[in-house]
Structures are given as structure tokens and as C-alpha cells.
Amino acid sequence: MTLSDNLAIDLNVTNRNNAVPPVLQVCTALRFYASGSMHNISGDLSGIHESTACRIVRQVSLALQRHMNEYVFFPMDAASIRETKIKFHDISGFPNVIGAVDGTHVRIQAPTVDEFVYVNRKGYHSLNIQVVCDANMRFTNCVVRWPGSTHDSRIFRESGLGVAFENGEMPEGYLLGDSGYALRPFLLTPFINPITREERRYNNVHSITRSIVERTIGAWKRRFRCMHEENRMQPHRTCAVVAATMVLHNMARNLGLPEIENEEDIDIGDAGQRNEHIEDNNGRAIRQMVANEIAN
């Protein structure tokens, strides 16, 4: 069954004259996701006016977003968790990892409402998107709603996933995050000033393992140029496009499609951000225990 067949009901095609069939709607949206330009769609697809293309992209994005939970989900059963931990461990030997988390910015045009809150630390307008991935470079969780000025640590703390971890509702294991996150027993970050051999070894293995999330973001943004170019939709509309491309990214990974290669620099994260929180004592103890285990 094709993607257009899967989305046909969601696209709610009527019998009115000149209705755009689902297959053309999907092709129109895919062209936008790949190019990031409504103007390109109008030029490439004869008979599609730019305003029509914009409406179609919105409709297809919402349709894909409604299928988010079918394609973007955290491993919860014992077999999936065990497989996830093994594959993360195979990267560089970090034990008990069930996900890697990071924030990445999607450029947007300056919005008309609350413009200032969308200016990120690099000085441009954006949405700050939280993603979690597995060792197969599939998204397992995402938060798509925060303006660019929001700190990564706050997004995680107030997310459903963060609350679930705090409440002990998630599987036993660790998320790996950079220094933009607060150290917690379930979210391990690097040592800021490593001194001992164990701490330096831990940081090296942590960095190699956590880099999977950066590679995942890079693969996603290379495949869908609209995530790399400035998006000229209003923020709430951009959120739907982000969610849609995440669904499509996981579909592509499930099908084993090759990554898109290019020479461009892709803005994958927010390197250099530091958390502003006192490190959790239990988190420090667990991190030290893991560091000792890795070094032995």
C-alpha cells in the first residue's frame, strides 16, 4: 500500500470539480519537504498554484502528524529495550542506554506574535525541537512546540517524557544528553571538567555514543531540506511540517532507504549550551558508577 493510499482518508478528498487527488497531494508535499520552497513546487508541478500548494502541504502534514504514534514511539517492552541497550552498547561500550536526546533548531521567519521569544542564542528565529533517537537512527520521541529561546533542559523537564522518567514510569536505563541538560539518575551528561582517567574515559565513550543523535538529526535535515532552510510559515504550521518529516524519516529508516549525501553544513544542534542547574546527587553517584564500570 502506498503512502497516498494510507493517507487517503485523512486527506478527505471530495468529488468536487478540480479536486487534487491524494497521490498528487502527497507528491506536492514531498516536493516541498525536499526543497523547502513553495515556488519550486509551482514550477515543477504544472497546474498547482502556490496558494494551493501551501494548502496541500498543510493538509498532508496534518495527516502525517496524526500517524505520529504509529512511527515515533519509545521502546517499552522487554525485548525492544534489551535490543536497544545492546545496539547502543555496540557503538562504544556504554552500558544500559535506551536513548540519546538533543535539541535542534528549525529556522522560521520572524512571527508576528511574540517575535522575541523565537530568537535563539545564535541570533536567528527558530523553533527548538527536542528529539530522542535509538541506535538505528530512528526518532523515538519528539517535542515540537517550543520557541527558539527556550533552554534544552527546560524542554526536557516539562516534556511528557521527562515527567514520565521523573515519576519512574519509564523502563530502567539511561538517556544520554550533552551539557545542555541537567544531570539526573536517568539522564547522564558529561563531566564538565574531567580529571581522573575514569572521567576522561567516560566522557569519550559518552561522546561517541551520544553522537548517534547528531547523526540522526543530520540525516533528517539532509533528506528534508525544509528543516534546514528558513520556513516561512507561522510557527504552529511549521510544527506540523516538522512532525510530518519525522514520521517520514522513520518510514525511510524502516524501509532501509539510503541517506541523502551532500556537502552542505547542516545545523544539527546547539553546541555550547550549558545547563544552569545544580547537579543531582543521585545522578552524580550513578554517573561515577558508570564511569568506573566503563574504565574497568
Judged against a pLDDT cut of 80, whether residue 187 lies above it is answered with yes
SS3 content of the chain, % helix, strand, coil (to 5): 50, 15, 35
Judged against a pLDDT cut of 60, whether residue 247 lies above it is answered with yes
pTM of the model: 0.92
- Give the Cα-Cα-Cα angle 32, 33, 39 (nearest 5 degrees): 20
Per-residue model confidence as pLDDT tens digits over 89-99: 999 999 999 99
Per-residue model confidence as pLDDT tens digits over 129-169: 999 999 999 999 999 999 999 999 999 999 999 999 999 99
Tell me the β-bridge partners of 133. 100, 139
Average pLDDT on 254-263 reads 86
User: 214, 268 in Cβ contact below 8 A?
Assistant: yes
The residue count of the chain comes to 296
